[in-house]
Amino acid sequence: MKALGPIPPEFTALDGELAIAGRPASSLVKEAGDTPLFVYSRDIIEQRIAGLRAAMPERLNIHYAMKANPYGPLLEFIADLVDGLDIASIGEFEQAREAGYLPREISFAGPGKRDRELFAAIKAGVTLNLESENEAERALQMGKQLKVKPRLAIRVNPTFELRGSGMKMGGGAKPFGIDADRVPALARKIVDAGANWQGFHIYSGSQALDAEALIEAQGQVLHLAEQLANDAEVDVPHLNMGGGFGIPYFDKDTPVDISAIGAALEQRFAELPEVLRETRFAIELGRFLVGESGVYLTRIVDRKVSHDTTYLITDGGLHHQLAASGNFGTVVRRNYPVAIATRFDAEAEEIVNVVGCLCTPLDRLADAAHLPRAEVGDLVAVFCAGAYGASASPATFLGQGAAREMLV
Ligand SMILES: *Cc1c(COP(=O)(O)O)cnc(C)c1O
C-alpha cells in the first residue's frame, strides 16, 4: 500500500458523495454533461486569498500567476480578489484582457519574448520583466518607434535559491532573468534612456512548504534589491519579491505557515533601508491561490485484475492531469490525494491501482491506493487539481481532447 496525499479540509461528504461547493459530484457531472471534468470552487479560492491577506502586511500586494490556471471564468473571478496579474505570453495577455484585467495591472515575464509580443505589450502599457540585455535593447527601440515610454522592470537571476523548492528557478546558470552582477549597469541604462522604470522582479523558486526557507529567501530578495538599487543609483518603484508558497500534495506534506511568513515580513517592512522605503511590494502566486480549489472527476470504465493487482481504469488520465501522474517536474512519483467521489464516506477496503485510459504505463493516477470498493460507473476524484492541470497537460495526446471545466 502507498499513502495518498492529504485531501484539502474543505471537502466533505453529502449523501455519501464528495460535495464541492455544497453539491454532490455526480450532480456536477450531470450538469457539465460528461466526465472527465475539472471543478473549481470559488469558496476555496476566496478562503485562501482572505487567509493570505489576513496574514501578510497590508502593504504587500498579491498577484496571480495565471499560468497556474487560465480558465476564463476563474480568471474573471479572481480579478476582484488580487492586485495584479503575471503573464508569460501574449496569448495569456489576450485571455487576461477578455477577463477584464487592465494593462497596468499586468506584468509580463518569460525568457523568450518575440518581437510581436514585446510590441503588443509596450503598446498596451503592460510592464515587461526583462529577461536579457538583448530584450531590453529591443524594448527600448520599440518604445522609441511607438513614441511611448515602455514600462520596464528587470528580472534578476538571483545569487541564491529557495531552499526545498519543488522547481529550482534561481541561483547559478539559468535561462531566466539577468545575472545579478550585470543588473546595475542595465538598470542605469534603462533609466537614462527615459523609460518608465518599474524596478525589480526577483523569483527564487516554487512549491516550498517550509516557512523558514521562504522567510530566508524573502530576506535575501530585499537585501539584493537594496544592493542593486544602490549600485545602480536608481530607485525601486516596485519590487516583485517572487512567491513560491506551496500546497500539500503528498502524504506528510503540511500547509505553509503563512502567519510566520507574514510576521517576518511585517518586521522587515518596519526596518526597510532608505532605498526601499517608497517601494510598492508584491508577491506572485499561482498554485497557492487556486491549486486546492480544483477537483478532477473521472469515471471508472473498467475494473480488472492482472496478476493479483486490481486496476480501476478511468476515462481520464495524464492528458489532463500530467502532474498527478508524476510526469510534470517530479523526480519520484508519489500519490496525489485521490478518492472514490461517489463513495466518499465509505470505508477503505481494497488496494487498487487507479489508471487513465491512455495506452502508456505512465498514465497512473494512484498507485497501490487503499480505497473503498468501487465499480464501473463510480467517479474518481483527484484533488489539488486547480493548478497546472487542464492547461499544463497534453490534452490532444492519443486523440483524447480537452476535459470539461466548471467554476462553482
Ligand atoms: C510559475 C511561476 C509562478 C507561479 O508559481 P506557483 O508555484 O504556481 O506559485 C510565479 N512566478 C513566476 C516567475 C513563475 O515562473
Report CA(203)–ligand 1 centroid distance (Å): 8
- Which ligand 1 atom is the nearest neighbour of the CA of 206? 7
The answer, yes or no, to whether residue 166 has pLDDT greater than 80, is no
Report CA(83)–ligand 1 centroid distance (Å): 16
Report CA(379)–ligand 1 centroid distance (Å): 31
- Which ligand 1 atom is the nearest neighbour of the CA of 129? 13
Q: What is the pLDDT of residue 164?
A: 78
Give the confidence band of 331 by pLDDT, cuts at 50, 70, 90: confident
Atom 4 of ligand 1: nearest residue by CA position: 286
Report CA(283)–ligand 1 centroid distance (Å): 10
Single-letter amino acid code for the residue at 170: G
- Which ligand 1 atom is the nearest neighbour of the CA of 285? 9
Dist CA 343 CA 373 (whole Å): 8
Domains and CATH numbers, the chain: 12-40+292-407 (2.40.37.10), 70-285 (3.20.20.10)
Residue 105 makes CB contacts below 8 A (sequence gap 6+) with: 83, 84, 85
Reduced DSSP (H G I as helix, E B as strand, rest coil) percent helix, strand, coil of the chain, to 5: 35, 25, 40
What confidence tens digit (pLDDT) does each residue in 13-35 have? 999 999 999 999 999 999 999 99
Report CA(167)–ligand 1 centroid distance (Å): 10
Q: What is the mean pLDDT of residues 275-285?
A: 98
Instruction: Pick the range with the lowest mean pLDDT from 154-168, 257-271, 335-349, 362-376.
Output: 154-168
Atom 2 of ligand 1: nearest residue by CA position: 65
Q: CA-CA-CA-CA torsion for 7, 10, 11, 12, nearest 10 degrees?
A: 120
- Residues with CB under 6 Å of ligand 1 are 65, 67-68, 86, 109, 203, 206-207, 243, 284-288, 387
Atom 3 of ligand 1: nearest residue by CA position: 65
Atom 13 of ligand 1: nearest residue by CA position: 203
Ligand 1: residue of 74, 130, 131, 206 to mutate (most ligand atoms within 8 A of CB) is: 206
Closest CA to 408 of 19, 140, 144: 19
Dist CA 44 CA 40 (whole Å): 8
Dist CA 193 CA 187 (whole Å): 10
Atom 6 of ligand 1: nearest residue by CA position: 286
The answer, yes or no, to whether residue 327 has pLDDT greater than 70, is yes
| Average pLDDT score over the chain | 97
Strands 127-130 and 106-108: parallel
Q: What is the DSSP string of 140-185?
A: HHHHHHHTS--EEEEEEE-SS--TT-SB--SSSS-SSSEEGGGHHH
Label each residue of 68-123 as H, E or C. Answer: HCCCHHHHHHHHCCCCEEEECCHHHHHHHHHCCCCHHHEEECCCCCCHHHHHHHHH
- Which ligand 1 atom is the nearest neighbour of the CA of 207? 7
Closest CA to 45 of 13, 12, 21: 21
Residue 125's SS3 state is: coil
Beta bridge partners of 201: 155, 240
Dist CA 384 CA 39 (whole Å): 11
What confidence tens digit (pLDDT) does each residue in 220-253 have? 999 999 999 999 999 999 999 999 999 999 999 9
What confidence tens digit (pLDDT) does each residue in 98-130 have? 999 999 999 999 999 999 999 999 999 999 999
- Which ligand 1 atom is the nearest neighbour of the CA of 388? 8
Q: CA gyration radius for the chain?
A: 23
- Which ligand 1 atom is the nearest neighbour of the CA of 245? 9
Report CA(288)–ligand 1 centroid distance (Å): 10
Q: What is the mean pLDDT of residues 50-72?
A: 98
What confidence tens digit (pLDDT) does each residue in 132-162 have? 999 999 999 999 999 999 999 999 999 898 9
Give the confidence band of 382 by pLDDT, cuts at 50, 70, 90: very high
Q: What is the pLDDT of residue 171?
A: 67
Dist CA 205 CA 244 (whole Å): 5
Ligand 1: residue of 107, 162, 285 to mutate (most ligand atoms within 8 A of CB) is: 285
The answer, yes or no, to whether residue 350 has pLDDT greater than 70, is yes
Distances (CA, A) of 330 to 123, 250, 382: 39, 12, 17
- Which ligand 1 atom is the nearest neighbour of the CA of 246? 7
Beta bridge partners of 37: 297, 404
Contact 183, 154 (CB under 8 A): yes
Q: What is the pLDDT of residue 165?
A: 73
Atom 5 of ligand 1: nearest residue by CA position: 286
Q: What is the mean pLDDT of residues 66-91?
A: 98
What confidence tens digit (pLDDT) does each residue in 175-224 have? 999 999 999 999 999 999 999 999 999 999 999 999 999 999 999 999 99
Report CA(315)–ligand 1 centroid distance (Å): 30
Report CA(129)–ligand 1 centroid distance (Å): 14
Residue 28 makes CB contacts below 8 A (sequence gap 6+) with: 20, 37, 39, 297, 406, 408
How many CA atoms lie less than 13 Å away from 332 in the CB half-sphere?
2
